[in-house]
Each structure stands twice: as structure tokens, then as C-alpha cells.
Amino acid sequence: MPGNYLQQSLLLYYAGALSPALEVRTRLQASRLRLDDDQPWRAGYVLAQDVAYRFGRALKLTARYAVFDADNYDVRQYVYESDVWLAVSVPALYGQGTRAYALVEIRLGKPLTLWLRYAETRYRHQATVGSGLEAIQGAERSEVKAQLRYKF
């Protein structure tokens, strides 16, 4: 953004293992932005709860549910998400809505690992998601990924 502006950010994060198999993470992040002294503050936040559970050595399930609210794209919130092997997911969250995903990692013997991921963003007060060629009619965007790795 060119010019002068004032931005303030807050991050509260907790991570803990409730047992050797169960991990939880809670994240609250917020920011506010004012472009000029005579402009109002714009604000955004995201509250995310993660759970990861390992069923022995062969199966791991990771899931998140997040609620977000950002006045506009200038105060969008970015939160890293677990993804399939070597993939990175850091969606920009703005507007009002929820974001959820589930990731399953299955070890199918020593050389084979399968990842399955489903993610969904639901917006409130929107009839269209995205713009241009990526526009979707409706208030929901979802994504499915699958990856199989064979180690030599």
C-alpha cells in the first residue's frame, strides 16, 4: 500500500498435547488498519481450532474449524493449513464466514503413503465467491486433494 498507514496486529496461540496421540492448537489473530487519520479503522480476525489425532503408526487425522470476519481485503487474515505432502496452503480470509478442513494421512506399508484432504470456506452475506474466471455462484468454495507417494 503506498502512502502512510497505521496497522496493529495481535496473535494469541496455544499448542498442547493432551495425550501422545492427541494434539490441539488454538489460534486467535486480529489486525486493524487505518489508511489516513481522517479514515475509520478497518478490522479483521480469525479464530481457529485444530485437532490432530494419530491412530497408531498407520493413520493420522488433522482437522480445523475457523471463524473469520474481516471488513475488507485490506485486513484479510492468513493462517497456515496442513496439506498433502510438499504442498502449502495459506488462504486469504476476508468477509465473514467459516473455514474448515480435514486431512487424512494413511501409511499403506513402508513405501506407500496416501493423503486425502477436503477444505471448505463458507461465506455469509455473499451471493458470489471470487471474481472473473474464478467466480462461483453461491456462498461456498470447496477443494479436494489426493496424493499417493511411493518411496523407492
- Contacts of residue 3, defined as CB under 8 A and 6 or more positions apart, other chains included, come to 35, 36
User: Which pLDDT belongs to residue 132?
Assistant: 84
What are the strands, taking DSSP E only, across 20-139? 22-34, 42-55, 59-70, 77-78, 92-93, 95-107, 112-124, 128-129, 136-137
Q: What is the pLDDT along the chain (152 residues), one digit of tens a residue?
A: 566 889 999 999 999 999 999 999 999 999 999 988 788 999 999 999 999 999 999 999 999 999 999 999 999 999 999 999 999 999 999 999 999 999 999 999 889 999 999 999 999 988 888 778 888 888 899 999 999 999 98
Return the pLDDT at 126. 82
Q: Are 128 and 141 spatial neighbours (Cβ–Cβ below 8 Å)?
A: no
Residue 36 pLDDT: 83
pTM (two decimals): 0.89
Task: Give the per-residue pLDDT at 1.
Answer: 53
